[in-house]
């Protein structure tokens, strides 16, 4: 049993609701790798099928794993050790299944309220009660394409702000979601104040 | 009464524990402005005393407020409307006091456990019980310099991960902290499953 994170660059939506592939952003890799490492995630998958984009992501990761960066900043090295570049969610599943043979449960994230979304609390309970490999899937651009949502087991309720503005970056949203799902701060038996 | 966020670039620590001024990062402005706007923050202050750095931050903000960006992406425009560049925390206080005359309470954030830190729960209670202008202060680099902590009213407990790795980016840490302090998700009277 383990927890995984996937950042999907294709198929995602653009501003007009069309299917596109987005470019990999250097700071997405850094931030989400560090957040994943902080919350005990086994592997962080950067999902992009385009060879030139995969090459770029590999270069960033290798710089911090083996290049000058490894010596300069070990906190980034440790985060990059769990980061892997793949082409699609099938490759994510193959990679996870190499490790053990529990079922894989994919959980999509979205900024939109939709029917039948699972709450943070219920998903956290499932983690404790139903052994599986859980993979939390984040979309870049304007969110995951609906065709991808069909292969997904659950869609997580969105983060809701104080007013009607709700436009977090994927770096911020993934940090909040990992915190709510995995932080010991929210353990029910935690001593409060 | 209102809530404010300040991102400090000087005085902060470098890797060796020396006092330095850090450069402003484009995505820090974007991410923290959008997180602030999502959680109902009145103003997000980018704190940097260096004129060239202030000029850079102004250019980024103006691009999204008035330039091509304003038309291209209104969600960034709305976030930039609450973003202001200042030189130090005194300027932050002056700016806040222009609005009303409640006391200002500065709350520092840190990744380190230290004595007498305030918990997330207790600070949230204070918000409800003690009317004031509350300003949450984040440090860049390797964290706020101790000299700055002396002018601060409270230091917030750190975010703790699942293991001993705890190296979130300031973009991720600020998102998590704003979520824990301001999200309606954590209202005690919220219906829970």
Does B176 sit within 8 Å of A182, measured CB to CB?
no
pLDDT band at B69 (very low <50, low <70, confident <90, very high): confident
Quote the minimal CA–CA distance from A148 to chain B in Å.
Answer: 25
Spatial CA neighbour of B37 closest among B188, B193, B175, B162: B175
| Spatial distance between the Cα atoms of A141 and A152, rounded to a whole number of angstroms | 19
Task: Kindly give, in sequence order, each residue whose CB lies less than 8 Å from that of residue A32, ignoring residues fewer than 6 positions away.
Answer: A5, A7, A44, A138, A170, A171, A174
State how beta strands A12-13 and A19-20 pair: antiparallel
Contacts of B173 in chain A (CB under 8 A): 175
pLDDT at A101: 75
Does B34 sit within 8 Å of A167, measured CB to CB?
yes
| Statement: residue B192 has pLDDT above 60 | no
| Statement: residue B89 has pLDDT above 70 | yes
Q: Among A64-73, B11-20, B54-63, name the one with the lowest average pLDDT.
A: A64-73
| Spatial distance between the Cα atoms of B52 and B58, rounded to a whole number of angstroms | 10
- Work out the number of other CB atoms within 10 angstroms of the CB of residue B99: 13
pLDDT at B193: 42
Quote the minimal CA–CA distance from B170 to chain A in Å.
Answer: 9
Does B179 sit within 8 Å of A159, measured CB to CB?
yes
Task: Kindly give, in sequence order, each residue whose CB lies less than 8 Å from that of residue B123, ignoring residues fewer than 6 positions away.
Answer: B107, B154, B156, B181
pLDDT in tens, chain A (193 residues): 899 999 999 999 999 999 999 999 999 999 999 999 999 999 999 999 999 999 999 999 999 998 888 888 888 889 999 999 999 999 999 999 876 678 999 999 999 999 999 999 999 999 999 999 999 999 999 999 999 988 899 999 999 999 889 899 999 999 999 999 999 999 877 654 4
Spatial CA neighbour of B166 closest among B142, B182, B147: B142
Contacts of A172 in chain B (CB under 8 A): 31, 34-35, 171-172, 174-175
Which residues of chain A have a Cβ shorter than 8 Å from any chain B Cβ?
15, 27, 30-31, 34-35, 37-40, 73, 75, 78-79, 119-122, 159-163, 165-169, 171-176, 179-180, 182-185, 192-193
Does A79 sit within 8 Å of B34, measured CB to CB?
no
Task: Kindly give, in sequence order, each residue whose CB lies less than 8 Å from that of residue A20, ignoring residues fewer than 6 positions away.
Answer: A10, A11, A12, A13, A14, A141
Smallest Cβ–Cβ distance between A175 and the set B162, B168, B183 belongs to: B168
Q: Name the 3-class secondary structure at A169.
A: coil
Taking CA–CA distances from A36, the nearest residue in chain B reads B168
pLDDT band at B190 (very low <50, low <70, confident <90, very high): low
Taking CA–CA distances from B26, the nearest residue in chain A reads A27
pLDDT at A99: 60
Joined together, the tokens standing for residue B170 give 């300031």
| Spatial distance between the Cα atoms of A8 and A89, rounded to a whole number of angstroms | 8
Overall pTM surpassing 0.90 (yes/no):
yes
| Statement: residue B189 has pLDDT above 80 | no
| Statement: residue B3 has pLDDT above 60 | yes
Residues A21 and A48: beta-carbon distance below 8 Å: yes
Does B120 sit within 8 Å of A162, measured CB to CB?
no
Smallest Cβ–Cβ distance between B171 and the set A73, A122, A171 belongs to: A171
User: How many angstroms separate the Cα of A41 from the Cα of each of A35, A85, A134, B101, B127?
Assistant: 9, 16, 10, 46, 33
How long a stretch of residues is chain A?
193
Task: Kindly give, in sequence order, each residue whose CB lies less than 8 Å from that of residue B189, ignoring residues fewer than 6 positions away.
Answer: none
What ipTM was estimated for this complex?
0.94
pLDDT at A100: 66
Query: Tokens 């651009």 identify what position?
Result: A141
- Mean pLDDT across B73-78: 88
- Mean pLDDT across B127-151: 93
| Spatial distance between the Cα atoms of A129 and A142, rounded to a whole number of angstroms | 33
Mutate which: A76, A121, A161, A170, vs B, most B CBs within 10 A:
A161
User: How many angstroms separate the Cα of B91 from the Cα of each of A23, B20, B47, B95?
Assistant: 39, 19, 9, 6
Taking CA–CA distances from A162, the nearest residue in chain B reads B39
Residues B107 and B117: beta-carbon distance below 8 Å: no
Joined together, the tokens standing for residue B115 give 């004595």
CA A16 to chain centroid: 24
Does B40 sit within 8 Å of A161, measured CB to CB?
yes
Mutate which: A109, A167, A180, A190, vs B, most B CBs within 10 A:
A167
């Amino acid at each position: 049993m383990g927890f995984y994170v996937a950042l999907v660059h294709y198929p995602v939506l653009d501003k007009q609701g069309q299917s596109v592939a987005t470019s990999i952003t250097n700071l997405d890799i850094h931030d989400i790798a560090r957040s994943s490492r902080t919350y005990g995630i086994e592997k962080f998958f950067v999902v992009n099928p385009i060879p030139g984009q995969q090459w770029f992501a590999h270069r960033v990761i290798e710089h911090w794993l083996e290049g000058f960066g490894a010596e300069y900043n070990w906190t980034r090295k440790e985060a990059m050790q769990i980061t892997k570049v793949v082409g699609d969610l099938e490759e994510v599943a193959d990679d996870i299944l190499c490790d053990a043979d529990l079922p894989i449960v994919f959980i999509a994230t979205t900024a939109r309220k939709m029917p039948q979304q699972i709450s943070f609390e219920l998903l956290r309970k499932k983690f404790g009660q139903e052994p599986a490999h859980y993979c939390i899937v984040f979309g870049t651009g304007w969110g995951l394409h609906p065709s991808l949502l069909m292969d997904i087991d659950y869609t997580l309720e969105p983060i809701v702000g104080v007013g009607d503005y709700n436009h977090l970056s994927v770096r911020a949203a993934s940090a909040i979601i990992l915190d709510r799902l995995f932080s010991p701060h929210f353990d029910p038996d935690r001593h409060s104040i």
